Amino acid sequence: MAGPRITVVGASLAGLRTAEALRTALPQAQLTLIGDEPHAPYNRPPLSKDVMESFAGGDADETEAFGKLLLRSKLTPEDVSTRLGVAATGIEKAGVRLADGSLVRSDWVIAATGIRPRRLPLPGNEDIRHVLRGFDDARALAPMLQPGARLAVIGAGFIGCEIAATARKLGLHVTIVEPGPQPMMRALGPRVAAAMATLHRRHGVTLLTGRSVEAYQPGRVILDNGKEIEADVIVEALGSLPNTEWLTGSGADLSDGVLVDDTMRAIGAPNLLAVGDIARFANPLFDDVPRRVEHWCIPGFTAKRAAQTIAALEAGDTPEPGFSPLPSFWSDQYGMRVQAFGAPALAETQTVVEGDLSQIGEAPVIVEYARNGALTGVIGLGAPPALIAKHRARLMAALTPKETV
């Protein structure tokens, strides 16, 4: 008997990992993977870090660089039928509608369409304005990052800060404009964010916080206080928008990504699941508020969970309740690794438990994050892995009991 027809939309980390997990959990399933990019699934984090550096520095040719980014997979063309370079435009009772008009008949649909960068709704400077999400964005930006060029980064989140650090290494003049009081403030909290601001300034970045962009003029960024920044290249790194337009009318709650339950099933659309950056789910390690989590580790966790869910339902079973993965993320800036576990963003207090924030970038620092006196996260700044592992264990011990409540 033929197995269920399962269509995974979005051929990146989450989509690929889901197809792999489905192949293992449901060997009979007929799998289709659809992606709008022309590229096979690849890894994004290096695009703002080492790959951007070697690209811009001219020491890597594109094919070679892309080869290193490609995600390794055991899947063969017999395992999954992959259609690249074609977007899903809608979801219907019978399946997924594609941009070329065809319909992929599906019993289950898995949304893995991720996010796209938000852009400033301002005209001007189109020829020098960039964003960074995909390989093609990186390919367009890299040749602009020439030594001596003036780069304006709008938005001091992780991607903006990583580009700034990479550009400094390449010898550009870098200005960051950030509306908030500190860079990466939401993710790192005020004290660590302030230390990161010092690190950027120490490396020669002009960091303008509490400032927003009022207008673009040719080769210039005009700020809300009237200040003008001259720029040869501009990168807008202002956060993201979930790619959910194709799910309009599916019944799912699309207010911020796709709201899913603890089995990755969309609430309101029983045969739709969501994984990766667009999935909005509650994590009982912390509380019952559903959130999207834009970290590299989430696609792996949610992919396995989604495959288990479909396998259980296809077998007539109820999926096991409970889903509480430990989030983690990292960032590399000026050769310093920021490594986080848990949800530092939820904390209201930060305690330096090893090292000293004034020594950031020079000596290891470990910071614990707590809410209502309970640990929610830990961050290591330039800390050796063994030291971080020790503190991660402490965090795990603090988080585990809540899981059973």
Ligand X SMILES: Cc1cc2nc3c(=O)[nH]c(=O)nc-3n(C[C@H](O)[C@H](O)[C@H](O)COP(=O)(O)OP(=O)(O)OC[C@H]3O[C@@H](n4cnc5c(N)ncnc54)[C@H](O)[C@@H]3O)c2cc1C
Chain residues binding ligand X by CB under 6 A are 9-15, 34-37, 44-45, 47-48, 87-88, 112-115, 132-133, 159, 243, 246, 276-277, 294-296, 299, 329-331
Establish if 339 lies at the interface with other proteins (CB under 8 A). yes
Closest separation in Å from C-beta 228 to other proteins: 39
Closer to ligand X by Cβ: residue 60 or 211 = 60
**196, interface contact from ligand X, other proteins, none, CB < 5-8 Å by kind:** none
Among 90, 222, 325, 330, binds other proteins (CB under 8 A): 330
Closer to ligand X by Cβ: residue 91 or 367 = 91
Binding pattern for the stretch 300-329 against other proteins, x by CB under 8 A and - elsewhere: x---------------------------x-
Closer to ligand X by Cβ: residue 211 or 345 = 345
Strand 5-9 to 30-35 pairing: parallel
- Pick from 23, 32, 21: nearest CA to 107: 32
30/79 Cα distance (integer angstroms): 8
Is there a contact between 260 and 279 (Cβ–Cβ < 8 Å)?
Answer: yes
Closer to other proteins by Cβ: residue 249 or 385 = 385
Among 40, 54, 57, 71, binds other proteins (CB under 8 A): 71
**195, interface contact from ligand X, other proteins, none, CB < 5-8 Å by kind:** none
- Pick from 154, 116, 130: nearest CA to 241: 116
Residue 12 phi, psi dihedral angles, 5° rounding = -125, -150
- Pick from 301, 302, 296: nearest CA to 264: 302
* Secondary structure E strands in 180-271: 206-209, 213-217, 220-223, 228-230, 233-236, 240-242, 258-259
Angle between helical axes of 158-169 and 185-202 (0-180°, round to 10): 20
139/144 Cα distance (integer angstroms): 10
Closer to other proteins by Cβ: residue 106 or 166 = 166
Residue 396 phi, psi dihedral angles, 5° rounding = -60, -45
Closest separation in Å from C-beta 49 to ligand X: 7
Closer to other proteins by Cβ: residue 94 or 389 = 389
Closest separation in Å from C-beta 282 to other proteins: 22
Our separate counts of H helices and E strands in the chain read 8, 26
Strand 233-236 to 129-130 pairing: parallel
Binding pattern for the stretch 7-46 against other proteins, x by CB under 8 A and - elsewhere: ----------x-------------------------x-x-
Residues at the interface with other proteins (CB under 8 A): 17, 43, 45, 71-72, 296-297, 300, 328, 330, 332, 337, 339, 384-389, 392
